[in-house]
Amino acid sequence: MSTIIVLGAGISGHTAAAFLRKKLPKKHKVIVVAPTSYYQWIPSNIWVGVGRMTVDQVRFKLAPRYKKVGIEFHQARAVSIHPEGGDTSTKPFVKAVYTLPEKQGEELKLEYDYLVNATGPKLNFEATEGLGPGKHTVSVCSYDHAAHAWEKLQEAIEKMKNGQKQRIVIGTGHPMATCQGAAFEYILNVAYEIRKRHLTDMADLVWLTNEFELGDFGMGGAHIKRGGYITSTRVFAESFLRENNIHWIKRAGVKKVVEGLIHYETLDGENQTLPFDFAMLIPGFAGVGLKAFGKDGSDISSTLFAPNGLMKVDADYTPKPYEEWSVNDWPETYRNRDYPNIFAPGIAFAPPHGISKPMTSKNGTQIFPTAPRTGMPSGVMGKITALNIINLIKKGEHELRHRASMGRMGAACIVSAGYGMTKGAAATMTVFPIVPDFEKYPDYGRSIGYTMGEAGLAGHWLKWLMHYMFLHKAKGYPFWWLLPE
């Protein structure tokens, strides 16, 4: 009998746990450890942040779902991994601390045969002074953050109705923040809500980003086929912003936020300020703070984790100049090389490098997006991790058959630009591969046949459908496994 522990119940962890439980005999134990009691469909938090969906429309309780299918669930926060055993254990184990109210603070120790670290990122608001809920900006990174953002946005809307012009700033809140796509969606939806209320003249909308050019999205930008023509995502993004009366500031690394004022540095080395009335800025990401210890109790965190706290996997972490970066540097199985019974799919794995070209200001500040790994890629990684562990349990050690390099994987993204059955809009974009491969695709680094974008009402209908389809899948409703990741 094998015990598999999954740390985290986001898109990657929840997907891995679901496939492990479905495809393994009941004698094998699947355990999920997650600090929250809810699963949330993160892409729809955008709509919570503009009041188009409620919190309960984007989340559901994990415990009933896991109990029904035979997954052991602990509402706890993992704090350390002991891959060599130790204390009184000969087997590897994980230590966690309960976040469940009735067990708050109690320690939990669980032994494992296989470990899936799908903890996702720490929302590193602390890396930017004054950033985040409870300080001077809002966030849409979680359902509770998004609900708070809507409260604050409503206050700004009321002021506009009363004749007070409002500057609304949305974008990235750290010089190396990722998830530009989520912020881009949010500013388009905010613009839609303002326009719908006939308040456009009362709003000054600003897109503030660390991208070198708009449409970079942490992927180094892309060329897409649209309406029979090939265009860049820069033109794609600029067009959307212009159509929505949004102006932009690019190549900007936010350093500090105080009440009503954003301090940022440009790639030219200039320190600038931007006054605001409402701001939603995406934080930088980091590891969640997991530590690792050897059998003798020594700290081996640097063996398992990169300096940013994300877990090392089967990637090439050799330092090299940008010109030598390769699609082959990227991991395929998300398996740790030193401890092969540990995997880290989704945002929990440490990328070997960025995808966008690294940029440094004249003052030495790095200002460029880090690599995105959210949504569809996280789901695919979670699934192939589960399938590989299943084969290891059934067949023993062998070369892993299931692989999902971001340099061989495509992604589909639907960028909402307003909510409504007849007046909503969205941009539908596919990219293949996520990490450019200039050896295989010398012209653009990606296949133009599979990299395309279209905008319109149909895209909104598709995103709306996907909201319900993926919640159907996550809840384990009939034939969930037939739905794509």
d(CA 4, CA 341): 10
Give the pLDDT of residue 44: 96
Task: Give the pLDDT band of residue 373 (cuts 50, 70, 90).
Answer: confident
pTM of the model: 0.96
Angle formed by the axes of helices 62-69 and 11-23, nearest 10°: 20
Beta bridge partners of 258: 261
For residue 32, pLDDT beyond 80: yes
Q: What are phi and psi of 468, to 5 degrees?
A: -75, -35
Domain that holds residue 315: 3-122+285-395
Tell how strand 278-282 and strand 284-286 pair up.
Answer: unpaired
For residue 367, pLDDT beyond 90: yes
d(CA 455, CA 446): 20
For residue 224, pLDDT beyond 90: no
- Residue % of the chain over a pLDDT of 90: 88
Distances in Å between the Cα of 206 and the Cα atoms of 170, 172, 248, 437 are 6, 12, 5, 33
Q: Is 11 a domain residue?
A: yes
For residue 30, pLDDT beyond 90: yes
Residue 236 DSSP SS3: helix
Average pLDDT over residues 471-478: 96
For residue 328, pLDDT beyond 80: yes
Helix (H) or strand (E) holding 460: helix 457-474
Helix (H) or strand (E) holding 280: strand 278-282
Give the pLDDT of residue 226: 75
Q: Is 480 a domain residue?
A: no
Of the candidates 275, 165, 190, which has an alpha carbon nearest to the alpha carbon of residue 241?
190
Q: What is the pLDDT of residues 285-300, one digit of tens each?
A: 999 999 999 999 999 9
Q: Positive or negative, the Cα torsion across 232, 234, 237, 242?
A: negative
Q: Is 387 a domain residue?
A: yes
Q: Extract the tokens encoding 466.
A: 């996907």
Average pLDDT over residues 425-442: 91
Task: Give the pLDDT band of residue 452 (cuts 50, 70, 90).
Answer: confident
Q: Is 201 a domain residue?
A: no
Nearest 5°: the CA angle 13, 18, 19 is 105
Across the chain, which distance is largest between two alpha carbons, in Å? 70
Q: Positive or negative, the Cα torsion across 382, 383, 386, 388?
A: negative
Q: Extract the tokens encoding 481.
A: 């496994």
Q: What is the CATH number of the domain that holds 356?
A: 3.50.50.60
Q: Extract the tokens encoding 368.
A: 């460029």
Q: Positive or negative, the Cα torsion across 238, 426, 183, 263?
A: positive
For residue 228, pLDDT beyond 80: no
> Which DSSP category does 239 fall into?
H
8 Å CB contact between 203 and 168: yes
> Which DSSP category does 227 fall into?
T
Q: Is 175 a domain residue?
A: no
8 Å CB contact between 22 and 4: no
Q: Is 233 a domain residue?
A: no
Q: Which residue in this structure is represented by tokens 């590989």?
A: 388
Q: Is 471 a domain residue?
A: no
Domain count, the chain: 1
Residue 303 DSSP SS3: helix
Average pLDDT over residues 313-322: 96
Q: Which residue in this structure is represented by tokens 């600090």?
A: 35
Give the pLDDT of residue 395: 94
Q: Is 316 a domain residue?
A: yes
Q: Which residues contact 73 (CB under 8 A, 6 or more apart)?
A: 31, 32, 33, 34, 62, 63, 66, 67
